Amino acid sequence: MFNLIRNESEKVFRKYSTYVLIGLMALFLFGVQWLIKASSGGGDYRWYPDEASLSEEIMFYESQGMEEEARVWKFYRDNLLDSQVPADSWRLEALRISYAGGDESEIRETEAMARTGNWQGYYQRMVRQIQENSEYTEQDKEMMSYPYRYLLEHQLDPDDRPWQWDVAMQYQSNVGTVMALQKLEASGNLTDSAELEKARADAEVARYRLENDVEYVAVKGEYGYRYPRGVWDAVDSTSSIILILSSVFLLIIAGGCVSREFSSGTIKFLLINPVKRQKIFWSKYLMMLALSAVTLIAGFLLNLGAAVLIQGGQGLQATYLFFDGSAVREGSVLLICAGQYFAGAVSAIVMMSLSFMISSVLRSSAVAIGISITCLLVGSMVVEFMAELQIDWGRYLIFANTGLAEIMQGNSKFAHQSLGFALIVLALHMAAFLWIARDGFVKKEV
Amino acid sequence: METAIRLEHVNKHLGKKQVLKDLSFETYIGEVFGFLGPNGAGKTTTIKLLVGLLSMEEGNISICGKDITGEFETAMAYVGGIVENPEMYGYMTGRQNLCQYARMRKGVTQERIDEVVSLVGLSNRINEKVSKYSLGMRQRLGLAQCMLHHPKVLILDEPTNGLDPAGIRQLRDILKHLAHQEGTCVFVSSHMMSEMELMCDRVGIIVDGRLAEVKTLQEMMTERRGDSVVYRYHAENPRLLMNAARQMELQAEPGGEEMVEVQIPSGQEKQVLWELNRTLAENNIVFYSAAPVESKKLEDAFMELTGKEGEQIV
């Protein structure tokens, strides 16, 4: 059998066109990565308003009756214009809070700090206010003041917008959510305990990041994993394109696998050999499986390599953080990313088998390739359509079950589609494909 | 003699048409067996059944004692064959193609490949892509592919197709050597009667899916001749000569202008000729030359047997 598989792989790799396909794919891959880099622009865009836009803002808020908001912008116009202070600066937020709830002395103090950019003073005041608030428990105080204490300790000017500031503010907001939900829970009004769990987890992760100085991080979100900017984001967003490319490559080769032997007439010589037809059939399919594995892995690695090259390795050292209920754990971003990719790779194998089957039964490469490419590109659309129209038996179609990653996260197209169900549907389809293909090949009169 | 191929009561339909009707015959180790028949008689179908390209419907086929349905792999290990045109993987070289087949069979070494390649005369071109080969080269490569594993039975469908005269002679020599010296059974189907005449030991004729005759080559040809040699006399007066011959109880027919064909019984040629010539001389019946006509060819025998001359294919 090994010799047979070796024969089959020779038939693929001695063909010029195989390499043309590979070359095109690699080119496309690099092109996509380059496009991503080119479109991401340089850094975050921050808004430094000019006089005209300020007047607009002020007029707008005044017309809406939002006096405090207008006052904030007026302050900016009068004090911070042309000062290279961005519109999302901590200063404006501080003013907002003070205008909304503070007394005159506090407002004046805040304005002074905003004018001079005295963020240390401002944060120190925040910490003091939290400490003095008797409503909070000690534990609450510790958590609420932590972001500010951290920034003060590490001398991080918010106007520079260091990554720690974003995370610290995230922590602050998470803590606020946790406390609010806990209050609801205490009074028996909490409807969704999962929300509380999530807020807690987010808070823990944010704190962990600050304490352990983890700048680049991947986390699990509601709709999948979120990757840090740079290499991992580029790889993740191109994953599906790479999968489609690989699928097309495999489809084309699988579509010619059996039918080419017939159209060129070499099938006669292939079959006049002391080898049962069944063995020949399986050797072809096993070769295609091996080729699929190699292609998919190579596709992922090549994509990763291209991303590292083009993104300059930004974010490559990221960690995956998750809260397991008791502590924050670190995981491998590579594993997560690869896992998502290979979960989607199932569809590539299925489409390849479909193409192989059509090639075996109809002996036409063109039909095999045409039908499978159409299914690949259109299949998922059709299923979405069916889901929207509430056509429930759509769940039994192969296309509804190839998005294993989504299903594992509970975002399947149809309700109550478990991973087990999807795997069974896939297995049945594959068994049917192979049965039909094998039957067609073994019984064929040449 | 050991049986190489045995067919017993083989029936086969292709679609609705019954192509083979109760076909039974045997071939033996060490002979060159010619399989003849008009177009559409079922030769290629038979060959395809022998090598497993078509599935058996009714009847048995065994090769060297092994049933091809029951013991396919064992039976096919004895067989090498070419069916219709030899098609190879054009984008690979001749050698790579041969390696493909070598891997599927047991016991084929690189040396054997080289041996076979030189036997068919392709040593200089074996490392070129097959897409650049001429038809004759492809035919030779096909033959090489058959022989790689020292098969006991060689099954060839129109092997002389595309070969130049040197190639045809070379092929003939190879096949006869394989059969007579190495004990292979060479089963050849062809239309080239002149070639078959030179090559075959026994001949089987299939007409309309049925086996018409299986005879040795000698039997096939002498029968038609009826055991006599035809001499053609170039005569001054054909009628006179004819009468003279008939008086000697010899069969004589006109054979064209000024020609008479006299049938001289073989075995008594010298005697009879002497008598006839002396009679003609004594009676002043002048003839310019007398020479034996080429005996009836296999082609004629074939035509007679199949009774078809330019008819529509069934």
pLDDT tens for each residue of A270-298: 999 899 899 999 999 999 999 999 999 99
CB nearest A268 (choices: B53, B73, B77): B53
Whether A371 is in a domain gets the answer yes
Whether domain B226-292 has CATH 3.30.70.100: the reply is yes
Q: Of B76, B141, B92, whose CA–CA distance to B113 is shortest?
A: B141
Whether A422 is in a domain gets the answer yes
The domain ranges of chain B are 3-222, 226-292
- pLDDT in the model for residue B190: 85
Indicate yes or no: CB of B83 within 8 angstroms of CB of A445.
no
User: Residue A414's domain spans which residues?
Assistant: 2-41+231-443
Give CA separation, A6 vs A142, B72, B136, in Å.
67, 23, 29
Task: Name every residue in A having a CB less than 8 A away from some CB of B.
Answer: 3-4, 6-7, 10-11, 14-16, 264-266, 268-269, 271-276, 443, 445-446
> Which range (A153-162, A164-173, A342-351, B289-298) has the least confidence?
B289-298
So what's the ipTM on this one? 0.78
Alpha carbon of A19: minimum distance to chain B alpha carbons (Å): 13
Kindly give the confidence (pLDDT) of every residue in chain B, 314 residues in length, as a single tens digit, with 9 standing for 90 and above.
788 999 999 999 988 889 999 999 999 999 999 998 888 888 889 999 998 899 888 999 999 999 998 899 899 999 999 888 888 999 999 999 999 999 999 888 999 999 999 988 899 999 999 999 988 888 889 999 999 999 999 999 888 877 888 888 888 888 988 898 888 999 999 877 888 888 899 999 888 888 888 888 777 766 545 567 778 889 888 888 888 888 888 888 887 888 888 888 877 778 888 988 898 899 888 889 888 776 666 777 777 777 655 555 55
Q: Of B313, B32, B314, B288, whose CA–CA distance to B173 is shortest?
A: B32
Judge if B3-222 and B226-292 fold alike in CATH terms.
no
Whether A259 is in a domain gets the answer yes
| A-B C-beta contacts closer than 8 Å | 77
Whether A289 is in a domain gets the answer yes
Residue A136 has pLDDT above 90, yes or no: no
Which two tokens mark A399? Answer: 């296309």
Residue A340 has pLDDT above 90, yes or no: no
- Taking the whole predicted model, whether its pTM rises above 0.90 is answered as no
Q: What fold, for B3-222? A: Rossmann fold (3.40.50)
Residue reference for tokens 């030779």: B140
Best mutation target, A264, A270, A273, to test chain B (most B CBs within 10 A): A273
Q: With contacts defined as CB-CB under 8 Å, which chain A residues touch B85?
A: 265
- pLDDT in the model for residue A416: 67
Q: With contacts defined as CB-CB under 8 Å, which chain B residues touch A445?
A: 14, 53-55
Q: Per-residue pLDDT averaged across A191-210, rounded?
A: 86
The count of structural domains within chain A is 1
Whether A178 is in a domain gets the answer no
Best mutation target, A262, A272, A287, A439, to test chain B (most B CBs within 10 A): A272
Burial of A160 (0-12, 13-18, 19+ CB in 10 A): exposed
Whether A287 is in a domain gets the answer yes
Q: Which pairs from A23-32 meet CB under 8 Å and 24+ separation?
A: A25/A245, A25/A246, A25/A249, A25/A299, A26/A302, A28/A245, A29/A238, A29/A242, A29/A245, A29/A299, A29/A302, A29/A303, A29/A306, A30/A306, A30/A310, A32/A238, A32/A241
Whether A167 is in a domain gets the answer no
